[in-house]
Each structure stands twice: as C-alpha cells, then as structure tokens.
Amino acid sequence: MQKGKIGVSSDNLFPIIKKFLYSDHDIFLREIVSNAVDATQKLKTLAARGETAVSVENAKVRVAFDADKKTITVSDNGIGMTAEEVEKYINQIAFSGANEFLEKYKNDANAIIGHFGLGFYSSFMVSHKVEVVTKSYKEGAQAVRWECDGSPEYILEEAERAEVGTDIIMYVNEESEEFLNKARLDEILNKYCKFLPIPVVFGKKTDWKDGKEVETDEDNQINDPSPAWTKKPVDLKEEDYASFYRQLYPFGEEPLFNIHLNVDYPFNLTGILYFPKLKNTIEVQKNKIQLYCNQVFVTDSVEGIVPDFLTLLHGVIDSPDIPLNVSRSYLQSDSNVKKISSHVTKKVADRLQQLFKDSREDFEKKWDDLKIFIEYGMLTEEKFEDKAKDFFLFKNTEGKYFTSSEYETLIKDSQTDKDGNLIYLYASNEEEQYTFIQEAKNKGYDVIVMDDVLSTHLINKFEQNDQKKRFVRIDSDVVDNLIAKEDQSEKLSMEEREELSPVFQAVCPANNGVNYMIDFKAMGESGQPMVITRNEFMRRMKDMSKLQGGGGMNFYGDMPESLNLVVNTDHPLVKKVLAEKDAALSAELETTNAALATLKAEQESLEKAKEGKKDEEIPAADKEKLDDVSKKITELEADKRSKLDAFGKDSKLAKQLVDLALLANGLLKGADLDKFVRRSVELIN
C-alpha cells in the first residue's frame, strides 16, 4: 500500500471545491459519467485499430446508488488505469495559482472545472470520500484501488477487479443526500447525459404488475448514443427530424422546418435547428437551444453566445471548438464563438432564402408563423437584414404576399405623393380599421397589414433605410389626406367653419381623457359625414413608449390621447346641421357678427396707429380705447360661442353624427352607447 499527498499546490483545495462550486453541484455526475464515456471510447478506438483484444462489444457505463451505504457508483468497461496512470492523472493535478483562480471564478463552477481539468475532483463536491477501483486494458495489468477522504492525503493499493475498466465510488456527504434518490439522479442524467455516445445504464427498466411497479431484467438505458444531429443529412428523412424534435421537447408544438448544420472547417460544428411557430410575441420561448460539446450537454442558455434573434430557434448545437467550460464573458469574446455565431446566422438566412426560392407557396403559408423571427433578425442583425431583403414579405389586407420590390412596383403609380414619397398604407387591426381600409381600397390604394409587436420598430427601420418611403396608418387621416396629391379646396367659408366647430365640439365626449380637435375636409357626398383619425406621429410615440415600458419616452405615454374629428363639408347631413344652426341663430348671430366686424375694424386701425411708436408716444385715450375694444371683442366672442355651444348641445343631429363616428371606431361605450341607441330609435320614429 502506498500513501501520499495529492499534487495540488494548495493544501486546502477540497474546502475550496466544496465552498465555491455550490451553484451547480449536479454537474459532478456529468463529469464522472463523461470520463467513463471517454475511457470507453478510447478503448473502442484501440480495439478498432487492433491494438487490444479486450472485448468492447457491449461496453456500457453503469450508474448505480445505494441508499443504505450512501454511495453513488459509476462503472465503465473502458481503458482503465495502471497505478502509474492513477498517479499521473488523478494525483498530480498540478497547477499554479489555484487559489487565485478559484477566487476569481468562484461563482462560475463550469469555468473552474473545465479550466483545470477538475472534472474528476468535482466528485468531492458531493462526497466525503471517493474510491477508484480500476484495471487497465494493458496485458497483465494489476487492478488498483485509490481512496481519498477529501484531505490532500490519498491511499493507493493493489485490488481485485475481474474485468478491465473503472469504478468510481462516491461516498455521499450529508449535505448531498438529495442525490441518493432515483428521481433526482434520473433528472440529472436526463439533463446532461441524454445523448452521450456510449450507452449509459441506470438500473433496470420497470414494469407495472398487479398495480405495483416492478423491475424487469432489461437494462434501463437513459441515453440515445447516436442522436439525429450526429448523422449525415442524406441518411435522415423528415420524419427523423420530427421525431428528434419530440425527443428534445416532448411537449413542444411541431416546428415549421429545420436546418441541419454540418461544418468541419474552419471549426467543427454540428447540430439541428428548428424554426418554431412563433406567436405574436418575442417572449423567451420555453424550448431553448441546447449546447453540447461532443454530445455532452453544456447549457441551454445560449444568450450572448448566438445572436439574440437566433435564441428564438429550438434545437441543438454541438461543437468541440466552443470552449464550453469557461466563463460566459469569456465565451462571448472568444473568436471561435464569434465565427460560429456568424456562420449560424448565415446558414439560417440561406435556408430561408432557399425555402423561399424552392417553394414560394409553402413559404407564404409559413410566413405568419415565421415573420416575428425574420423581423427580429432584421432589426438586430445587419448581416441578416441584408439577406432578408430578398425574402421579407408584405401581406396586404387581401391576404396576398409581396416581396419588397414587388410591392414597390405595385403601389408606385397610385401611392406616390406630390413630393415623390412612396406611401405605404398599413392597418394594424383589420377589424377595427375596416371602414378606413374600405375607403382606401375604393380610392384604388392598397393596404398592408402590420399588426405584430415589432411592426412599429420595423416601420421606423424601413423609413430610416429609405428617406423616400413613408408608412402611414390607415386611420391616421381621412383617405384624401393619406397621400397628399395636389391641394384640395375647402368648400366652407372661414366663418362657417368657425361657427360649426363649437357646435360639434359641444357634442364630443368630454370626460374620457381624450382631446377632440375639429377639422373640416371636403370628402365627397358619398363619403362618411364624419371621420375620426389619430395623428400618426403621436400614436407611434405612444406605441413605442408602451413597448418600452417606462423609459425616456414616457412623455408621450402620459399625454392624453388626441383624436381628430374630421367633418365632411360635402355631406348633406353636415349641410343640414349648418342650415339648422342658421335657422336657429342667424338673427342673433347677425347682430353679433356685425358688431364684431365693426369692433375688429376699430381694433385694427388702433393697432395700426400704434405701429412704430414708443409706448410713451401713444395717447392714453387711445390705449384705453384699444383695451376697451379688445375686451368687448372677447366678450362678444364668448357670448357667441356659448350660443353655438347651447345650440350644439340641443342638436340631436350633431350628436348623432359624432356618435356614429365614435361608434365606427369602437369609442362609443356604456351610457353614451345606450343614449345613442335610444336617440336613434327616436329619430327613426
């Protein structure tokens, strides 16, 4: 028997391992099982080369636990170790500056374990004692037993082992007894070892007999040693990809399509990425991409490792070239990782491009489920945007799809405004904006649908990319104003407009936190008598500030909503309101208007007399006169407005017209809606 000290520069490595590696204790099993797999693969390679006669046919890695003895054992039929090799590989983890390093990465278990080959020693995170019984494949090798209780002292002695291979026996410490549990071990194995390349067995398969769960004779193999991504694409059918997806995400919804990644230069990368059906959301989707290193699971949080938009995809990436065991910040700046990342981006874009070219019809069918992904990519990755230009689609309200250039051609003639801007009319809600869409269509315009969470951002991006393109929401103005052609004339005199404004203002809802601005437009006799529009700029600002939730744009978010009530001066019913107003008020208003005209003329001449004079040069009498005139004007105007206001409040027709416009926009609710219905019945009678 031999006793000695492990070749660690620090005497207290074990306390440090235990203390600092607390975050991910369960990786001890990954490390020990993957060592067993490595050892088995090595022996298989030797066997394949004819360098050993040891049988590798049924080589398996076995995981077992004994709740009474409080041990977890991992056994393999791998290459084994001689006493010298145990010395070399297990005892001499000689590295310098261990303390310093451990201190630096104390919160990143993966970094410490991978960086210094602490793989085997991670067993001490959960054990107070670890035993290794191993027999080398080398002819005539003597089996040996190594034992260490967590202090730097170890024991190495001759032992008995019938077959070539290694047992790692971990004596589980008190704090780690949770691992002496079938379900817990199942969970860890399923997480880290599901696709290891050598069969891993954990106990026996169970069966139900007489209402009881009983063990069968069959090994319970927990892994699939040759998952789809390790195979050649030519050997796989669509069904194989589909069933692999189910293997990864048993509860996932069927994906749209996939990409099989297979690179061996300038780096090694394999994997299968799936495009999920994305709903109208960019919330993190729960089926995350899984990162593997030679079939060993490393992580499923790939943020910062692949571009953000790619994290919406599902599937597997496997690369021995990603330094997977180092810290996250290191990963993100690693040049291999960057290369891999841009390669994957390119592959994804190419795949979409190819799909579009091969079957446009099919691509269009998938578009609605795909667009969020593509839009997200366009907004965040310039390289992707460049490529996506060719297959990004606009969908119009008729359900037809167009590429950017096709759409440009379609609307060029009819939707270029007088300044040469190309106007894209869009609807954000086809149902709510139905009337507006119809009006635009009647006018010969085309309307696209931009109704997802990224639409506003995308529109801003399109407008930034091309100054001559404008996106205008269909309800942001009356149809005649959406695309400014040549100047349109007003058919109402200034005075008539001034007198109608307060009439309609009087019947606008006053207490729902919305400002109404009255505007006039000749929209033809067959147009609606009144239309409500939302200012495009204000609306976008509000939308953006909503999306950003807080942040600097809240100025707009907090502004009261402002709506334009556009009165169609051509409409017979509007003319009727005008006529009723004249009938009711013209006698009174005529006097007021005449008085106002005189006063205003007087005011003007007084103002003129003041021009160019210093204050002290103006006679006091004139000043008084001007003040007096101004006051009278204000009074008369207020009086006039209150008369118009009173008339408006009494005008059922005016009220009815405003309510109809509100109703068309879904803004008429509760008591107002009830009153509207009653008034309608009354008017029909």
Write down the least CB distance from residue 22 to ligand ADP, Å: 19
202 binds, among Mg ion, ligand ADP, none (CB under 5 to 8 A by kind): none
Of residues 15 and 117, the one with the C-beta less far from ligand ADP:
117
Crossing angle of helices 455-465 and 536-548, in 10° steps, is 120
31 assigned to a ligand binding site? yes
Residue 29 or residue 306: which is nearer to Mg ion going by CB?
Answer: 29
The smaller minimum CB distance to Mg ion, of residues 101 and 556, is found at 101
User: Is 602 annotated as belonging to a binding site?
Assistant: no
Interatomic CA distance for residues 118 and 28, integer angstroms: 10
> Using the rule CB under 6 A, is 307 a contact of ligand ADP?
no
Interface with Mg ion, residue 325, by CB under 5 A: no
Q: Interface residues for ligand ADP in 15-34 (CB under 6 A)?
A: 31
CB of 268 to ligand ADP, least distance (A): 18
Q: By C-alpha distance, which of 281, 348, 294 is closest to 34?
A: 294
**81 labelled binding-site residue:** yes
**Rounded to whole angstroms, how far apart are CA atoms 678 and 382?**
58
Closest contact distance (angstroms) between CB of 27 and Mg ion is 11
Joined together, the tokens standing for residue 525 give 């006799």
Question: Toward ligand ADP, which CB reaches closer, 79 or 259?
Answer: 79
Segment near Mg ion (CB under 5 A); pick from 8-16, 111-119, 192-200, 570-578: 111-119
Beta-bridged to residue 520, according to DSSP, are 567
With CB under 5 to 8 Å by kind, the binding choice for 459 among ligand ADP, Mg ion, none is none
Closest CA to 113 of 424, 412, 327, 396: 327
Residue written as token pair 């007999």: 209
Q: What is the nearest approach in angstroms of Mg ion to the Cβ of residue 165?
A: 16
Candidate ranges 4-12, 34-42, 99-107, 231-239; the one touching Mg ion (CB under 5 A): 34-42
378 annotated as ligand-binding: no
Pick from 376, 389, 392: which is nearest to 307 by CA? 376
Helix extents (H) in 443-553 = 455-465, 479-482, 494-507, 536-548
Of 79 and 425, which has the nearer Cβ to ligand ADP?
79
Site for Mg ion in 493-552 (CB under 5 A): none
Closest CB to Mg ion belongs to which residue?
119
Residues 99-138 that bind ligand ADP (CB under 6 A): 117, 119-120
Cα-based angle 621, 625, 626 (whole degrees, multiple of 5): 120
H or E element that contains 148: strand 144-148
The least distance separating ligand ADP from the CB of residue 6, rounded to whole angstroms, comes to 12
Amino acid symbol at 156: L
Provide, rounded to whole angstroms, the least separation between the CB of residue 83 and ligand ADP.
13
Least distance CB 81 / ligand ADP (angstroms): 5
List 6, 17, 79, 222, residue binding ligand ADP (CB under 6 A)? 79
Q: 166 labelled as ligand-binding?
A: yes
* Residue placing its CB nearer to ligand ADP in the complex, 37 or 289: 37
CB nearer ligand ADP, residue 88 or residue 675:
88
d(CA 103, CA 98): 8
What x/- string results for residues 35 through 74 when contact with ligand ADP is judged by CB under 6 A?
xx--x-----------------------------------
Interface with Mg ion, residue 35, by CB under 5 A: yes
Smallest gap from Cβ 36 to ligand ADP, in A, equals 5
**Closest residue to ligand ADP: CB criterion:** 119
Here's the x/- map for Mg ion, 115-154, by CB under 5 A: it reads as ----x-----------------------------------
Question: First vs last Cα of the chain: how many Å apart?
Answer: 112
Count CB atoms within 10 A of the CB of residue 384.
23
**Does 439 contact ligand ADP by CB under 6 A?**
no
* Piece of the chain touching ligand ADP by CB under 6 A; list 78-86, 235-243, 249-257, 603-611: 78-86
Return the one option of Mg ion, ligand ADP, none that residue 78 interacts with (CB less than 5 to 8 A, by type): ligand ADP
Closest approach of ligand ADP to the CB of residue 84, in Å: 12
Q: How far apart are CA 352 and CA 319, in angstroms?
A: 23
User: Is the CB of 76 or the CB of 446 nearer to ligand ADP?
Assistant: 76
Binds ligand ADP by CB under 6 A, chosen from 71, 110, 123, 166: 166
Q: Counting beta carbons within 10 angstroms of the beta carbon of residue 316, is it exposed (0 to 12), middle (13 to 18) or buried (19 or more)?
A: buried
Q: 181 among the known binding-site residues?
A: no
Question: Which amino acid appears at position 473 of this protein?
Answer: R
- Taking the C-alpha atoms of residue 76 and residue 74, their distance in angstroms, rounded to an integer, is 7
Number of residues lying near Mg ion (CB under 5 A): 2
Q: What phi, psi does 300 have (nearest 5°)?
A: -120, 20
Residue 114 within binding range of Mg ion, rule CB under 5 A:
no
β-bridge pairing 71-76 and 200-209: unpaired
Contact pick of 81, 156, 348, 425 for ligand ADP (by CB under 6 A): 81
User: Using CB under 5 A, which of the segments 28-36, 306-314, 401-409, 519-527 binds Mg ion?
Assistant: 28-36
Which is nearest to 114 in space by CA: 261, 303, 299? 299
Q: Which is nearer to Mg ion, 78 or 119 (CB)?
A: 119
- Of 35 and 568, the one with the shorter C-beta distance to Mg ion is 35
Q: Please say whether the beta carbons of 165 and 77 come within 8 A.
A: yes
What's the CA dihedral at 555, 556, 560, 565 to 10 degrees? Answer: 150
Q: Which residues of 189-227 are buried (b: 16+ CB within 10 A; e: fewer)?
A: beebbbbbbbbbbbbeeeeeeeeeeeeeeeebebbbeeb
Does position 89 bind ligand ADP by CB under 6 A? yes
CB nearer to ligand ADP: pick between 55 and 442: 55
* Burial class of residue 10 (count of CB atoms within 10 Å of its CB; 0-12, 13-18, 19+): middle
- Shortest Å distance, C-beta 39 to Mg ion: 10
Q: How many residues bind ligand ADP (CB under 6 A)?
A: 15
In eight-state DSSP terms, residue 176 is: G
Long-range contacts of 349-355 (CB under 8 A, 24+ apart): 349/377, 349/383, 349/384, 349/387, 349/388, 350/387, 351/257, 351/259, 352/387, 352/388, 352/391, 353/387, 353/390, 353/391, 355/257
Rounded-to-integer distance, Cα 61 and Cα 258, Å = 32
Query: Please, what is the minimum distance in Å from the beta carbon of residue 243 to ligand ADP?
Result: 32
Instruction: Find all residues with CB under 8 Å of 207, minimum gap 6, and list them.
Output: 213, 214, 215, 216
From 79-87, 152-160, 346-354, 647-655, span contacting ligand ADP (CB under 6 A): 79-87
d(CA 172, CA 301): 29
Burial of 450 (0-12, 13-18, 19+ CB in 10 A): buried
Cα–Cα distances in angstroms (integers) from residue 200 to residues 222, 299, 342, in the given order? 6, 20, 35
User: Nearest distance from residue 319's CB to ligand ADP, in Å?
Assistant: 17
CB 255 within 8 A of CB 276: yes
Binding site for Mg ion (CB under 5 A): 35, 119
Binding site for ligand ADP (CB under 6 A): 31, 35-36, 39, 76, 78-81, 89-90, 117, 119-120, 166
> What residue numbers does the annotated binding site cover?
31, 35, 76, 81, 96-97, 166, 328
> What residue numbers does the annotated binding site for ATP cover?
31, 35, 76, 81, 96-97, 166, 328
